[in-house]
Structure 1
Amino acid sequence: MYSKMYYLLKFFVLGFLVQSCFATKSFPESFMFGAGTAAFQIEGAWNEDGKGPSIWDTFFHNKNAEENGDVACDSYHKWREDVQNAKDLGLQFYRFSIAWSRILPNGTLNIVNQKGIDYYSNLIKALKAENIEPVVTLYHWDMPQHISDLGGLLNVQFVDYFEDYVRLCYNSFGSDVKYWVTFNEPTIHCFMGYGYGNGAPGFALPGDGLYQCSYVLLKSHARAYRIYDEEFRDQYQGKVGIVLESSWVDAETDDLLDLEAQERSLQFNLGWFANPIFKGNWPEVMIDRIANRSQLENLARSRLPAFTQDEIEYINGTHDFFALNTYYSNAVRYEDDEPIGTPSYSKDLSVGSSINRNFSDNQAFRKLLNYVNDRYNPGSILITENGKGTSDGLEDTDRIEYLKLYLGNLLDAILEDNINVIGYSLWSLMDNFEWGTYETRFGIIRVDYDSPNRTRTWKESARWYQNLIATRVLDNSTIIINN
């Protein structure tokens, strides 16, 4: 009887412990929590202290847009308050970008703006003083206008201009920066800026411009990586990567054609830039389809520029980690190729798709992490953007629920799939200018755009995130009320 009761009690205790573990899964102590911003979206001071115009300044000024980035969150003047908020949240790292034209007004070494260098140096040193690791993006879409006037990412000489700029950054800030990102979301930048014209610099070249952009951008990324590797790594021991954006893509059915459309979609999006960096050369499906359609369009060569073998080898392996931005998931289906006519990326890809914006509860993010890990074997993954846009207000429980579901996917990938995800950067530290609107609010800290002071106020999600960082326990929803 005693023995039976002993084992019965042991069974219930063990069951309770197992249940408790699953209810309170914790992030590893080495896991880093952060938040992110981008220069054009928060800094303002678009023409102060020697800063030159960027392509996004020009893009909105030329449209006489009611909203622009001229003031934004005024972080150029309020950076100390932003650092204090990052400290109070408990962030282990803060991802931000350098505005190229703030330190090189026309994008070249012809004029070096010391006030711009001092601004970023002060920000970086203030973060380091609070034990917050700066994760620095070198190019978050805001090319100096003069470089764009010279052809921008359609001009292979961009590689040389970018080299000069990044070397200046490495020399100026390298002793305090251990994580560098060369480019942010090149897929979207090439798509909007050089493919369909709905973003700066506004070129509508959907059949070839976006591919030329990707060709020059990858060569520029590789140059920036090689420079650090050869000239700075021994001294500073930092890491360099590129931020790629991807949604997870499911097939609408298990039909072989839909499954083929799923893989094609992933390769035309994530693989477009990941394959050359992590495997070597463009995805084969892109090479074959674009070459075939180019031939049928009576072109002498493929619209997708071909890498030489030397270029393939130079670009391949230019990564120290895999940086990933992701927000949603898609479902895709097979569709017959469109007839040959005006060339475009969408016709090259040729799949039908729909967006599912509430994907975190169906393990889509976990699937994406497994896909990245299995396909590209990156060694480590850093989530550099993820978040939810909401309307204005402080009680953003919908954002909290989104983050809980999303981070649950992430934690499962770490604990159950043994994927080495080293950190997570929430987008965004504060509400910011979302490339055309202030209406959509991605920040966990509210910015009052009607106030000349651009007053910052913590939302409920900020307090939730503060508590998550402090406890490292995902389902602990107790709110810390002090700030």
Structure 2
Amino acid sequence: MHATAPLLLLLAAACSLGAPRNTSFPQGFLFGASSAAYQVEGAWNTSGRGESNWDRLIHRHPECISNEATADVAADSYHKYQEDVRAAKEVGFDFYRFSISWPRIMPQGNLSLINQDGIDYYNNLINALLANNIQPVVTMFHWDLPQSLQDLGGLMNPAIVDYFEDYARLLYTTYGDRVKLWTTFNEPYEISVGLTSACEAPADLVSPGFGEYLAMHNLLKAHATAYRLYDREFRRRQGGKVGITLSAAWAVPKSQSAADLEAAERYLQFTVGWFAHPIFSQEGDYPSVMKERVARNSKAEGLRRSRLPEFGPEWVDYIKGSYDFFGLNHYTTKILSEPATATVSQISMANDMGNLVTEQDDAWPYGAATYFRYVPFGMRNILKWVSERYNGVDILITENGWCDSGELNDTMRTRFYVNYLAAVLDAIYLDNVQVIGHAAWSLIDNFEWASGYSMKFGLYYVDFNDPDRPRVPKDSSKVYASMIKNRSLPEEYLDKVEE
């Protein structure tokens, strides 16, 4: 599909018009790398760790994972965290974003049992980072829910709000003297929509059109509760910041018709605004387009109330403003359009959205996954979209990266980072977006959920067939290190855009 190419070239060229591009990073801009507990730690049933919902999925349904891979050992970061710290130090990162495994420190998901080995592991990791002048940025929940809580309904059970508050209090109490940047949840969209998939944890709660809305409702309450807890009991003493990490692809309308322009915006409201609007907007609550469309469809389906739950004014006010920064995960761009003819499917979020047509341009390069396309201008546009709609909020890019097959001479990953960071600088200098830092996904190759080890995002190569799991620097890590050292982009890797 190439019909959109002239529009996309125009958007890309817009970055190069006018004054020469500023390729220097502003003072105070932070460079980091990311990982997640379940994807790197291994040691899934040792040292007192409890079972997670992803352990249960992978062990009961191995067919769901590429090559029936598991994360039982993964990159073995539980035993080799010092090598991860060494790698981050070698590149020169200012911060390392990692997640804490809830079942590792609270095996039952509640305060009845605290696992000291798990507490010690994260203390050791945090202390090792600080000893090397690397700031820890901690994600409280990156998809691995204690199975004991999943057995109670997981995120669909309103009690999860109280359980998460207890968990957050333990984290603040234990690590808050050293951790100054927290994100509560990683990618609520993927968490909630995953509940409607037979091959994402928990796999046995497939309830499209209902489950994702219930889960998100509870998740937003849990996030706000953890944020207000920090305000109330920890902020004055610890002086940290709490945010949430949201995933966001950029949406390009297939044409400039009113229908396609509205389709692209609707897609963004359903995938980003769903959770951003209640937290970051001035009015709070779900986006009006979501409330209207889900209510209308629910009525047509014979339901007495909308499948999208209502907060009520007290919760709207409680959730609104529960942030210190906006964590953004961005990888790629999609092309959106209205279907040629109106279609009605079974009850689902896709149907609520209007069964929009989602495409990508054949001209956009891709690596190990066709859906991760190289589209640098999408980074600038999504940053601008977030900034304009949410009051110029400070944005920390918490994930951004390229997947390939693991080659050490990873020239495309280098090109990806240089040109996506060029788009970040355009957003900063040309659009006045407040971007405070960028985290590469990921520091090391890891377990990529349903894709197993078939795609690699790391700046460091990990041989998962080697019991020692050595970390080997890829060429991209050296270029990224030079960017940090020089605080500027290496112009030899910048794409040439003809005006």
TM-score by length of 2: 0.89
Identity among equivalent pairs (%): 47
Distance 2:52 2:374 in 1: 36
2:448 to 403, 418, 434: 434
1:14-43 Cα distance to aligned partner (Å, 9 max, x none): xxxxx9x94672101200000000000000
Counterpart code for 2:140: L
CA RMSD, aligned part only? 1.7
Counterpart code for 1:354: E
Q: How does 1:463-474 map to 2 (within 5 A)?
A: 463-474=478-489
Count of aligned residue pairs for this structure pair: 458
Kept in 1: contact 2:22–2:426 (CA 8 A): no
Other-structure match for 1:281: 285
Q: How does 1:420-459 map to 2 (within 5 A)?
A: 420-436=434-450, 437-459=452-474
Distance 1:210 1:195 in 2: 7
Distance 1:223 1:402 in 2: 37
Counterpart code for 2:433: I
1:236 aligns to 2:238 (yes or no) = yes
1:332 aligns to 2:336 (yes or no) = yes
2:350 to 327, 346, 349: 346
Other-structure match for 2:403: 389
Distance 2:380 2:374 in 1: 8
Distance 1:138 1:451 in 2: 30
Other-structure match for 2:23: 25
Counterpart code for 2:435: V
Other-structure match for 2:14: none
1:259 to 261, 264, 280: 261
* Residues 412-421 or 48-57, more deviating: 412-421
Other-structure match for 1:38: 36
TM-score by length of 1: 0.92
User: C-alpha displacement at 1:172, in angstroms?
Assistant: 0.2
Q: How does 1:23-422 map to 2 (within 5 A)?
A: 25-64=23-62, 66-192=68-194, 194-202=195-203, 203-279=205-281, 280-335=284-339, 336-339=341-344, 342-350=346-354, 351-356=356-361, 358=365, 363-422=377-436
User: C-alpha displacement at 1:64, in angstroms?
Assistant: 3.5
Classify the secondary structure of the residue corresponding to 1:48: coil
Counterpart code for 1:426: A
User: C-alpha displacement at 1:262, in angstroms?
Assistant: 1.1
1:231–1:439 distance in 2 versus 1, CA, 3 Å: same
Kept in 1: contact 2:376–2:416 (CA 8 A): no
Classify the secondary structure of the residue corresponding to 1:61: helix
Distance 2:92 2:289 in 1: 44
1:305–1:24 distance in 2 versus 1, CA, 3 Å: closer
1:26–1:58 distance in 2 versus 1, CA, 3 Å: same
User: C-alpha displacement at 1:337, in angstroms?
Assistant: 4.1
Classify the secondary structure of the residue corresponding to 1:195: coil
Kept in 2: contact 1:467–1:477 (CA 8 A): no
Classify the secondary structure of the residue corresponding to 1:253: coil
User: C-alpha displacement at 1:260, in angstroms?
Assistant: 1.0
Relative contact order (alpha carbons < 8 A, sep ≥ 6): 1 or 2 greater? 2
Counterpart code for 1:338: T
Larger gyration radius, structure 1 or structure 2:
1
User: C-alpha displacement at 1:424, in angstroms?
Assistant: 0.1
Classify the secondary structure of the residue corresponding to 1:69: coil
* Residues 310-319 or 374-383, more deviating: 374-383
Structure 2, unaligned runs of 5 or more? 1-16, 366-372, 494-499
User: C-alpha displacement at 1:355, in angstroms?
Assistant: 2.8
Distance 2:375 2:155 in 1: 38
Kept in 1: contact 2:53–2:144 (CA 8 A): yes
Distance 2:406 2:94 in 1: 27
Write out the 4+ residue segments of structure 1 that deviate beyond 3 Å after TM superposition: 21-24, 356-362
Distance 1:166 1:329 in 2: 34
1:266-300 Cα distance to aligned partner (Å, 9 max, x none): 10011000000012000000000000000000001
Distance 2:426 2:213 in 1: 36
Kept in 1: contact 2:186–2:244 (CA 8 A): yes
Distance 2:60 2:374 in 1: 39
